[in-house]
Structure 1
Amino acid sequence: MPLDLSLSRRKLLKTSAGAAALGIVGAPAISYAQAEAIKIGHITPRTGFLGPLGEYAVQAVQLAADEINAGGGVMGRKIELVLDDSPNPQQASAKAERLIQRDKVAALLGEISSASALAIGQVVQREKVLFINTGANSDALRGSDCQRFMFHIEAQNSMYVKAVGRSLVRDGLVRGKKWYSLTADYAFGHDLLRVAKRYMNENGGNHGGDDLIPTDLADFSPFLLKIRTARPDVVILNLAGTQITNFLKQYAEFGLAFPVAGFGFDTALAWGAGPGNFGGIWPVVWHHLVDTPNTKKFVAAFTTRWKRPPENQAWGDYCSLKVVAQAMAETKTTEAAKIVEHFEKGAKFDLLKTREGYFRASDHQMMMEMYAITALPQAQVKNQWDIFTSSPPVPGPDESLEAIAATAEENQCTFKAA
């Protein structure tokens, strides 16, 4: 019998608010004994400088699976997560291959490192298994390194830069201003710096200097001294993971007053910086203060279970599983090729924002709203979580969702033949 999504939604409002928000499951009375579980692989860093974000990712995908299963699963089948760590690209590739070949997962979700996502993308293209990238930002993954079986719920670097760039232009921090940037020395950072420089040049900014920062660096004092000497109009951070937390702490300790802005960000890193240390303007793909009913349900459920609110990496992994489950329900299959086709035809998904999103067929990037957040003065901070104000959604309600995405001229994707 075809799955009645509207009926499922009405029933699930009483049983599972998070699952109901995306309308992806069947009636709760279905017995799992009828069918084998659908295995979904989840792979993401659990240690190292990206480890704190990976912890949010794992907690969120577990919550999503539990909500889906509480509502009856997908096509009467339970979702079974198979979790693994990906501390580096080599292990990410090997573990993705093992999840596919040994564990027989129907899809892979996760990742934060762009280098590791690239490695996984090559595996899934060879194995013809769906992969939803939930945290890797590099434009190259949507361009020169794009793969037909890889999709991106995480925003690309161009979207991050253009989203926060509007705020920087508004505040007079681009045209005629001197930027000094610090950039994470790996694939993500190199790509982000390229995109940031393009935006700066297009909008009349000047690049006063840049330093590449090793991912294991803990002491920023040599670079803070260089910034003090350079006296830039804006300090731009193209950093990642705990690099951002460490920099913010040390920047506050040095007492530097140059405005700070970032082109890549996760709210957990601001929370980790401690009271009084977070400052500047930053782009986020989502945050826990987004004022929509489904965000409030997600935040409440996550906070109740994990004793802290979710941040934007949690959002990506939570929504990715809901998106895959919805697609399986709508296509009535777990076959990757058919789900890929469904995504490419413009299927719409509730992403806990004011507008539904969709994967752009040309590069498999999710088209969606983003936000620019600005740190509150310490005197206005009331708790350890609500430490910023947010812009309205970007793009605005009268703009195309593609307004902040890389154009075909900026980032060309050509999917390789199967």
Structure 2
Amino acid sequence: MQVSRRGLLAASAIGLAAPSISYGQSDVIRIGHLTPRTGFLGPLGEYAVQAIQLAGEEINAAGGINGKRLELLMEDSVNPQTGSAKAERFVQRDKVAAIVGEINSATALAIAQVVNRERVLFVNTGANSDALRGSDCQRFMFHVEGQNSMYVKTVGRALVAKGLVRGKKYYALTADYAFGHDLLRVAKNFMGGAGGTVAGEDLIPTDLTDFSPFLLKIRQARPDLVVANLAGAQITNFLKQYSEFGLRFPVAGFGFDTALAWGAGEGNFLGTWPVMWHHMIQAPSAQAFVRAFTTKYGRPPENQAWGDYTALKLVAQAMTATRGTDGMKIVEHFEGEGRMDILKTREGYFRKRDHQLMQEAYAVTALPPAEVKNRWDIFSPGDAVPAANESLEAIAATAEENACTFR
């Protein structure tokens, strides 16, 4: 059964007790969850909420955290100001042991500034900006979500292999907020370094629904490649309207969420895009998550669901390993770069110098409509990047590209 948006918004605090376990009233560990549930990022926030609820239920069913019941406090972050205020309330009033979530890069920074001051852990599950791992990095913030450099280098390899970069002209449409600006910067550095040139570029307001003026400009420019540095519902609307306009220029994205392709409707997904995770990964832990999520919600999970589910599991494991909820001890535990199961073929680890999760990523390519068998399996997943014989750091930003000095 699919949970409605209204149902998800109804509860701000959810106790996830397992019926077979008896807990005292004071034996509770509270973790705050912040993510956009409305606006252009709302479709992703819905997956995030469902996934973290599932993770919490599984943690409690297995005995909780150090014998204590996990309680999730869940709120819509809406915007940076609201996200900051709710993070402060979580920490000061509700005494949460950690905060998990977020998708908007500007809001993630606002939350990080609160937790750094309060010395409480924050695990970012959806904000991509390289700046969060560089100029704006914070000691108490870690990143399960991939950074923009990882997305760009992953799909960039695929585009170079397809002959769509060197000597080619590309037209870029970019979300007009912190994430998009950062992604455009990283994408232009990669494309220019690989021999591509700009045919045109436009910033797209986050509330825009009609892409026709920009699609007309693309038709006139006749680029060799259309690059979508978009986010949230922008991607869904772009894909639908690109198909309706009948444009035939190859399409690629440097940022992506599977749910947005699913939302575009049958026959409208096209091009090559990067993801940090997808539901066809055959690792046993990945498929166990897919089965549990699909059974509970009536649809497979996508990459945002993976991020929130994985983050909560890693936090619980760290609290178990450190035998408590002390923020600094958990920071030091993660900085030890211990390998962890992250529902992929290879284990991952948090890189000490910038707290980015080192992990595999994937460049997925849309299947021709005739090859699509159902509404979910609409792409060819491709091989994991980096390859098995490469370091996981091969697609991450280098210290020279993105220097971090913790505050």
Same fold (TM over 0.5): yes
Is residue 203 from structure 1 mapped to residue 189 from structure 2 by the alignment? no
Aligned counterpart, 2:324: 333
Alignment of 1:2-401 (within 5 A): 31-33=22-24, 36-401=27-392
Contact 1:124–1:131 (8 Å) recurs in 2? yes
Q: Quote the offset at 1:94 in angstroms.
A: 0.5
Q: Secondary structure of the residue that 2:171 maps to in structure 1?
A: strand
> Deviations 1:227-255 (Å, cap 9, x if unpaired)?
00000000000000000000000000000
Count of aligned residue pairs for this structure pair: 390
- Residue 30 of structure 1 and its aligned partner are, at CA, apart by 5.7
| CA displacement, residues 146-175 of structure 1 (integer Å, 9 cap, x when unaligned) | 000000000000000001111001000110
CA contact (8 A) 1:121 1:149 kept: yes
Q: How far apart are 1:357 and its partner, in Å?
A: 0.6
**Structure 1 portions without partners, runs of 5+:** 1-26
In structure 1, C-alpha distance between the alignment counterparts of 2:139 and 2:392, rounded to whole Å: 22
1:280 to partner: Cα distance: 0.2
Say if 1:228 and 1:256, in contact at 8 Å, map to a contact too: yes
1:291, CA displacement in angstroms? Answer: 1.1
User: C-alpha distance in 2, partners of 1:30/1:43?
Assistant: 27
For the 8 Å contact 1:28–1:71, the answer to whether it is kept is: no
Once residues 119 and 228 of structure 1 are traced to their aligned partners in structure 2, the CA distance between those partners, rounded to angstroms, is 39
Q: CA deviation at 1:41?
A: 0.2
- Structure 2 counterpart of 1:51, one-letter code: G
Cα distance in 2 between the residues matched to 1:29 and 1:47: 35
Give, in angstroms, the shift of residue 102 of structure 1: 0.9
SS of the equivalent of 1:32 reads: coil
- Partner of 2:278: helix, strand, or coil? coil
% identical aligned pairs: 72
Could you give the per-residue CA deviations for residues 53-109 of structure 1, whole angstroms, max 9, x where no partner exists?
Answer: 000000000000000100111110111000000111100000100111111100000
* Separation (CA, whole Å) in 2 of partners of 1:376 and 1:32: 50
The 2-side partners of 1:207 and 1:409 are apart by 25
RMSD between aligned residues: 1.2
Q: Structure 2 CA distance, aligned partners of 1:34 and 1:308?
A: 35
Q: Which SS does the other structure have where 1:415 is aligned?
A: coil
